[in-house]
Structure 1
Amino acid sequence: MVLLQNEGGLLPLQQDLKKVAVIGPLADSMAATEGRGWSSAISLRPVTVLAGIRARLPDAAVTYAPGPEIRRDIPSWFESLMAGETRKPAQTPEDAEVAFQLAMDSARAADQIVMVLGETDLMAGEAASRACLDLPGRQEELLKAVAALGKPVVLVLLNGRPLSINWAAEHIPAILEAWEPGSEGGHAVADILFGAVNPGGKLPVSFPRKGSHAPLYYARNLTHSPEGSRMYNPRYWDGLPTPLYPFGFGLSYTTFAFANLRVSAAQVKVGDAVTVSVDVTNTAQWPETKWPSSTSISVGAAIRARCAN
């Protein structure tokens, strides 16, 4: 899992929370949690995010509201291959509005809100390309309405591909990308949300600002001229060409300070070796950190250690 955002240190959440609202169409979805792929049915009973949070907070009032349902506009032919799978009739606009308002009622009564949004298991994978990478259905509308209440909101994403979450990245303080976390996914998400585990994942892909930005290569120049040059011109005139979250991005609860940068030589010739070292100090307040408080390590040694693992 990848921690995309944690403004103000909202995460990890406190264990003494009394009123928590878990909201979203995927919050209690076993299929979206496990990610069925080619399997014809859910073989186990996966732990959903809702179940994981309730297990973590046995004495709290944890309410749940799915909000309006989400579904593919064009059905997947995989649905006909799933044993016992029947495509349910679409939710009526009236029923969707009732579900929307019930979610808002749940949010208003809570002290902490966890939104679980993204894509269902059948929205990603083979035969599941999308023209747009925005959150499907009315999910972003619900997210905006809940955020407008002024209460602390954590966004957990369940999805099989990068999504365009520009509004959320600007307005939601804490965002955890959980992908399709598997059978014990709900417990794993709760472990991270409440600080039992430090999120250490890094993005294996770039998150584009819009679906039209794809393909978005992390190792290629995205403009006609290098950025900073006199002739620099961005790829698009109506928006930035850079990704919302770049390849390799990922935060953690641990913070570091870097000082005393040292280089073994002021000048080097082509082919010569140079040693770079720096003092790294762990400045985190997170109580579960297992790193030493201070150490000195060369960049080369850090790279070698990283590659060895």
Structure 2
Amino acid sequence: IKECVVHGIAADDYDAGCQALKAGLDMDMGTSIYKNHLAEAVSRHDLDLTVLDTAVRRVLTVKAWLGLFDNPYVPEELIAQNDSLADSHVALTLEAALKSIVLLKNQNQVLPLAKKTRISLVGSLAGSKDEIIGAWAMSYQNKDCVSILDGLQQAGSDVSWYPCGGPEGELNEDEINQAGQNGDVIVAVVGELVSMSGEAASRANIELPGRQRELLQKLTAFGKPVIGILMNGRPLALSWEAEHLDALIEAWQLGIRMGSAVAQVLFGDFNPQGRLSASFPAVVGQCPVYYNHMKTGRPSSKSKFTSRYIDAPTEALYPFGYGLSYTAFAYSDLTVKESADRLTIRITVKNTGERRGVETAQFYLQDVTGSLVRPVKELKGYAQITLDPSEEQSITFDLLKANMGFYDNNGVYRLEDGEFTIHAGPNSRETLQATCWIKF
């Protein structure tokens, strides 16, 4: 409610309270505007008492539905239950964390690591039980949290932790030198603090905050494999990291079992299968960058205009839907068959690697010409399959013609005859294509 004053909708708290209640906002969360001003507003006839009565009646009705008048207090046994987590909930947390991890780079198959590998674990974030939780997570206890350091230790690995530095503060040169000299492999956990992302936490520069890139530069100078583990709540600009690190894992802020999930991925107990839900820019100046942008008025060419910028690429560093695996997949034989109400899209996916893995095949649509400019592609569906080495499978996806339209500027849904391009592949960039002419 108070934001009405900040944004200029209301003159002051008194005015904001009157406007909000009249608009149907029955409760005031986070301020005391109703408490401080509604009685006065009624007495001054700026607010009709019936409006206040209606709001109170609705609030009391909900409380009655919830049984709060019959049982207004939380039983002590339920309070005690909150001190321990259900095993099924913890298992689901771990599963969600595992499936959310995205492998961005794995040069020369440096991953997975052998358990006997001597690991120098670097970064203050690696030992944190708080930063793994993410923004707006209020009720957790450290005793339930597995940091990345905890996860590696519990996995039985030979790991030594060197905090060295983090998103804030200075670097510890002695710890950096010890990390570089003592380990066979350096695993550097870098990223953001919880307070650096989420509500009211925008950043103008979305490269690694603080001196973390400098830390990575010092670590790569030792000539040993450096694996980057990202702990962040937003896409980051990671061009230097993508070029110079041997492997890069997007691990986000995955909750209480983050450390266990990261350890399972590092040691190959779980083959990563996550996909990016947003494009990662090559440089900050690209933003906003997203896969379903409109066709540009300055298309790239092989002459002067090679991009929208003279000093940055057009495409994202890592596109929407991107994610690697410890195995490899090949796509072939894309076909599109039209029937009365749908397009039946078929593509073959083969596991060309040496490990069993999960692949997420993605299907995109491009409306080549429309009465309004259309995106270069739009995600229309996906299929997730599990394949053994050398196994291949044909995937079928039905795209209903009713879902091939768009809303015009008047809010009218339009299905327009014309040429359409079907894209199918492992992400929004690397796709096979087929073109068809559709008459609705």
TM-score by length of 1: 0.78
Q: Does 1:133 align with 2:206?
A: yes
The structure that is strand-richer by fraction is 2
Q: Does 1:68 align with 2:165?
A: yes
For the pair 1:15 / 2:15, whether they are aligned, the reply is: no
Aligned length: 272
Look up the match of 1:52: 151
Q: Does 1:193 find its partner at 2:266?
A: yes
Partner of 1:30: 129
User: Do the aligned partners of 1:218 and 1:247 also contact (CA within 8 Å) in 2?
Assistant: yes
Gaps of 5+ in 1: 72-90, 304-309
Q: Offset at 1:104?
A: 2.4
Q: Give the letter for the 1:250 counterpart.
A: G
Report the CA distance between 1:273 and its aligned residue.
Answer: 5.9
Output the amino acid matched with 1:102: E
Amino acid at match of 1:297: S
Could you tell me whether the CA contact under 8 Å between 2:326 and 2:357 is conserved in 1? no
Q: What is the 5 A alignment of 1:115-126?
A: 115-126=188-199
In 2, Cα distance between the equivalents of 1:127 and 1:263?
A: 47
How far residue 256 of structure 1 moved from its aligned partner, in angstroms, is: 2.2
Q: 1:146 to 1:264 in 2, by over 3 A?
A: closer
Does the 8 Å CA contact 2:329/2:351 hold for their aligned counterparts?
A: yes
Match of 1:21, as an amino acid?
Answer: S
**One-letter code of the match for 1:285?**
E
Aligned position for 1:84: none
Amino acid at match of 1:33: I
Of the structure 1 ranges 233-242 and 4-13, higher mean CA displacement relative to structure 2 is found in 233-242
**Higher Rg:** 2
**1:47 is aligned with what amino acid?**
V
C-alpha contact 2:135 2:198 (8 A) present in aligned 1:
no
3-state secondary structure, aligned to 2:387: coil
Deviation readout 1:54-77 (Å, 9 max, x if unpaired): 11125x2x1111113433xxxxxx
**Partner Cα separation in structure 2 for residue 270 and residue 119 of structure 1:** 51
Q: CA RMSD in A?
A: 3.1
Cα-to-partner distance string for 1:133-166 (whole Å, 9 max, x where unaligned): 1111111111011111111111000000111111
Paired amino acid for 1:196:
D
> What is the identity percentage for the equivalent residue pairs of Structure 1 and Structure 2?
36
Q: 298, 304, 323: which is aligned to 1:250? A: 323
The equivalent of 1:176 in structure 2 is: 249
Q: Which amino acid aligns with 1:4?
A: L
For 1:81-100, list aligned pairs within 5 A.
96-97=170-171, 99-100=172-173
For 1:179 and 1:153, locate their aligned partners in 2 and report how far apart those are by CA, in whole Å: 19
The separation in 2 between residues aligned to 1:221 and 1:262, in whole angstroms, is 25
CA drift at 1:178: 0.4
2:229 counterpart SS class: strand
283, 286, 289: which is aligned to 1:216? 289
Once residues 186 and 143 of structure 2 are traced to their aligned partners in structure 1, the CA distance between those partners, rounded to angstroms, is: 28
Residues 120 and 179 in structure 2, CA contact (< 8 A), matched pair in contact too: yes
The CA distance in 1 between the partners of 2:306 and 2:119, in whole Å, is 47
In 2, Cα distance between equivalents of 1:6 and 1:114? 13
Do residues 164 (structure 1) and 263 (structure 2) align?
no
Q: Whole-Å Cα distance in 1 between the matches of residues 269 and 145 of structure 2?
A: 20
Shift of 1:230: 7.7
Amino acid at match of 1:8: N
What residue number does 2:180 align with?
Answer: 107
Greater RCO structure (CA 8 Å; 6+ sep): 1
Secondary structure at 2:310's aligned position in 1? coil
Q: Which residue of 1 aligns with 2:80?
A: none
Shift, 1:208, TM fit: 1.0
In the alignment, structure 2 segments of 5+ residues that lack a partner are: 1-100, 359-385, 400-422, 424-440
Aligned to 2:352: 283
Counterpart Cα distance in 1 of 2:336 and 2:309:
42
Counterpart residue number, 1:88 = none
